[in-house]
A and B are shown apart, each in its own frame.
Chain A
Amino acid sequence: DAKTTQPTSMDCAEGRAANLPCNHSTISGNEYVYWYRQIHSQGPQYIIHGLKNNETNEMASLIITEDRKSSTLILPHATLRDTAVYYCIVRSFHGSSNTGKLIFGQGTTLQVKP
């Protein structure tokens, strides 16, 4: 699976957009980008995923660059409840020995401030 690089921590003002970057320069053509978040002491929560097109759902938007070497998770109007650790994960699927594995990195700690 491609390695991801995320900043260790970020701050965001409440009500503003939070833009969380992720570098995955070794990503290959069949690898999806997944984002999860973990609010203190809870189990991680799925946010969004994509392959090459930008994606949007009720929680966030995912912008993937054309070369797919990086992506940005956007929380359009951050609230205090969005304070969490955000994980960017890149994995391939089926046909590889890594079938079924999803490896979490250290993630980005997002602090939303009033």
Chain B
Amino acid sequence: NAGVTQTPKFQVLKTGQSMTLQCAQDMNHEYMSWYRQDPGMGLRLIHYSVGAGITDQGEVPNGYNVSRSTTEDFPLRLLSAAPSQTSVYFCASSPGTPDNEKLFFGSGTQLSVL
């Protein structure tokens, strides 16, 4: 079982560069989300999606774009990387049914912006 797959695992960018963090799930989950985690901090929600074609902002959406063209994929785009975006990024998915919002997380992408 692949579950939630994130790529790449590590990435170094220069300030101003753009890139896309990939996230794919093979569990046919409707709900997907992106979190970031800074050192010693909890997870903060960036963007989420409740189904293909539907996305919404979380707590810290500025500087990031998302789209959801398929159920399986939910890429996160950094438009112009800044040092403040240095963080570990986690993607998660969930069935999103009324009694089950159990989130399955990927293994994370460690991003450094110089």
The reply to whether the CB of B26 lies closer than 8 angstroms to some CB of chain A is no
CB pair A43–B49 under 8 Å, yes or no, is: no
Taking residues whose C-beta sits less than 8 angstroms from the other chain, chain B's interface range is: 20 to 34
CB pair A100–B50 under 8 Å, yes or no, is: yes
A contacts with B: majority SS: loop
The listed residue (A46, A51, A99) touching B103 by CB distance below 8 A is A46
A side interface size, CB within 8 A: 26
Total cross-chain contacts (CB, 8 A): 64
Q: How far is the CB of B37 from chain A (nearest CB, A)?
A: 8
The reply to whether the CB of B53 lies closer than 8 angstroms to some CB of chain A is no
B3 closest partner in A (C-beta): A43
What separation, in Å, do the CA atoms of A100 and B46 have in the docked complex?
12
* Most chain B beta-carbon contacts within 10 A, residue among A34, A41, A101: A101
What separation, in Å, do the CA atoms of A91 and B33 have in the docked complex?
15
The listed residue (A42, A49, A105) touching B107 by CB distance below 8 A is A42
CB pair A46–B42 under 8 Å, yes or no, is: no
The reply to whether the CB of A10 lies closer than 8 angstroms to some CB of chain B is no
The reply to whether the CB of B14 lies closer than 8 angstroms to some CB of chain A is no
What separation, in Å, do the CA atoms of A99 and B102 have in the docked complex?
14
CB pair B56–A100 under 8 Å, yes or no, is: yes
List the interface of chain A (C-beta within 8 A of B).
32, 34, 36, 38, 41-46, 49, 51, 85, 87, 91, 93-94, 99-107
